[in-house]
Amino acid sequence: MTTRPLPAVTSLAEDLPGWLPGQRWFAAKGQDVASVRVERAALLVDGDPALLHTLLDADGERYQLLLGLTDEVPDHLRAAVIGRLADGSYAYDATHDAELMGGLLELFAEHSAAGGLDWLPEPGVHIQTGLRARPVGVEQSNTSIVFGEHYILKLYRRPAPGPNRDVELHRALVRAGSAQVAEPVAVVRAEGTVLGFAQRYLGDSAEGWATATASVRDLLAEADLHAGEVGGDFAGEAHRLGAAVAAVHADLAAALGVATAGQAEMAAGADGMHARLDAALAQVPALAKREGVLRAAFDAVRELPGTSVQQVHGDLHLGQVLRTTGGWVLIDFEGEPDAPVAERNRTRSALRDVAGMLRSFDYAALHMLAGEEPDHQRLTRAAEWADRNRAAFCAGYATVGTDPRADSVLLRAFELDKAVYEVGYEHRNRPDWVPIPLAAIDRATAAG
């Protein structure tokens, strides 16, 4: 097998342009790849199969890839094959290979320098080896591997140099004694770039979205009961979730500080909202008749004297929270998915997170109705669910932090800003869903 990895996989550069766009984590969705260059390739595990770590440059975007190399591909890995190397062996996406992935734990346990990478357990953590590995199949931008019931390793598909926000915020929260995050156990780095981040696996957890939509399903199966009357009422959970989010905000503030954004920053924030609205208006004609009220809501932010800003989650919604037997846990502190690193690292108002969650409750309430003939009864009842749980979330938040509803101008602007983004997104991807954010805009602006 190969001992000089880089030349050996250079030939793969021909197969990768065809393969990359088919991957879920590929960034430039729907676009072709002109050229792929293997930037770095290093052997992690020798033998057959061998495990290779590679960084690619695909039209200027950097991707991380773990390659398995073998002379004979077992049946269950056939679908993962990318192509053949010059020496006749096959290269495949190794994250599908449970055995190769299981070996990664040993690299961590040994504090290995395999492949010229640093495999570093967090201080005081003893990594248990010999656990079964399995890939988690559902992520968008990264790939995660679960080891036994113990650890989950997130491989960043597009690793960025410099401090990794996800890792840093997790560490800060754990140092602050937060019970609302999964404990970090190890990182793997190349020079200054974090390539992978392992945490304690919360095997007993269920995703917030699944938990909330179970409640909505229960509500809509009844003909006329109100959201507070049906068995699957979610308000208790929403209340606890609000308290958990507030606790995370408090811990982040205590650990990493709070600053005050003055009027200039508020104005800049409002400008940003207007700019995003401009972009959406250009695409979605239905927004035009709401332009006036939206702009008024954004302009109201300019009038505010200022607000406190801090590190926040940055991309909070029901899919970023897990219900465990010990309570709610927040995951994925990478920040806004499509924003540049500097933008993600900025401090911002904690109400951004609250707004994200409030919008998510709205989505959870209405997702079953998307694409249906509008039915006033069902819409009203779904909206009632959203209102009830949004209120419970805010009330729960208020048990730990300040009631977010006290800052109504800013909260409303953040929600509307988010809804404008959603309109644009749904217009491009799921036209049936456009009415969800549109209705939210109408409700919010009619009310105030």
Partner 1 sequence: MTVQDTTAPDAALGLAGIPHTGEAVTADGHLTEPQAEDFHHARSAPPQVDWYKSAVFYEVLVRAFNDSDGNGTGDLRGLADKLDYLQWLGIDCLWLPPFYASPLRDGGYDISDFRAVLPEFGTVDDFSYLLDQAHKRGIRVITDLVLNHTSDAHPWFQESRQHPDGPYGDYYVWSDTDEAYSDARIIFVDTETSNWTYDPVRGQFYWHRFFSHQPDLNYENPAVQDAMLDVLRFWLDIGIDGFRLDAVPYLFEEEGTNCENLPRTHEFLKRCRKVVDDEFPGRVLLAEANQWPADVVEYFGDASIGGDECHMAFHFPLMPRIFMAVRRESRFPISEILAQTPAIPAGAQWGIFLRNHDELTLEMVTDEERDYMYAEYAKDPRMKANIGIRRRLAPLLDNDRNQQELFTALLLSLPGSPVLYYGDEIGMGDNIWLGDRDAVRTPMQWSPDRNAGFSRCDPGRLYLPAIADPVYGFQAVNVEAHMNNTSSLLHWTRRMLQVRTEHPAFGLGDFTELGSSNPSVLAYLRRHGEDVVICVNNLSRFPQPVELHLSEHDGCIPVELTGGVRFPAIGELPYLLTLPGHGFYWFQITRPLEEGEPQ
Q: Which is nearer to partner 1, 220 or 409 (CB)?
A: 220
Nearer to partner 1, 243 or 312 (CB): 243
Q: Which is nearer to partner 1, 171 or 323 (CB)?
A: 323
The CA distance from 290 to 208, in Å, is: 31
Q: How far is the CB of 74 from partner 1 (least distance, A)?
A: 11
CB of 222 to partner 1, least distance (A): 11
Closest separation between CB of residue 360 and partner 1, Å? 16
CB of 383 to partner 1, least distance (A): 21
> How many CB atoms within 10 Å of residue 316?
25
Q: How far is the CB of 140 from partner 1 (least distance, A)?
A: 16
Residue number, 229 or 372, with CB nearest to partner 1: 229
CA nearest neighbour of 41 among 70, 79, 10, 71: 10
Q: Which is nearer to partner 1, 229 or 303 (CB)?
A: 229
Q: Is the separation of the CB atoms in 234 and 389 below 8 Å?
A: yes
Number of helices (H), then strands (E), in the chain: 14, 16
Tokens of 419: 């809804």
Residue 54 or 213: the one with the smaller Cβ distance to partner 1 is 213
Binding site for partner 1 (CB under 8 A): 76, 98, 132, 134, 146, 149, 202-207, 210-211, 214-215, 217-218, 221, 229, 231-233, 236-237, 323, 325-326
**HSE-up of residue 371 (Cα within 13 Å, Cβ side):** 6
Dihedral angle, C-alpha 401, 402, 403, 405, nearest 10 °: -130
Between the CA of residue 174 and those of 128, 183, 221, what are the distances in Å? Answer: 20, 7, 41
Closest approach of partner 1 to the CB of residue 395, in Å: 12
For helices 208-220 and 376-398, the axis angle rounded to 10 degrees is 140
Helix residue spans in 221-328 (DSSP H) = 235-256, 263-283, 291-302
| Cβ at position 252, least distance to partner 1 in Å | 26
In whole angstroms, how far apart are CA 43 and each of 65, 108, 389?
Answer: 12, 15, 51
C-alpha 29/C-alpha 23 separation (Å) is 9
Nearer to partner 1, 48 or 149 (CB): 149
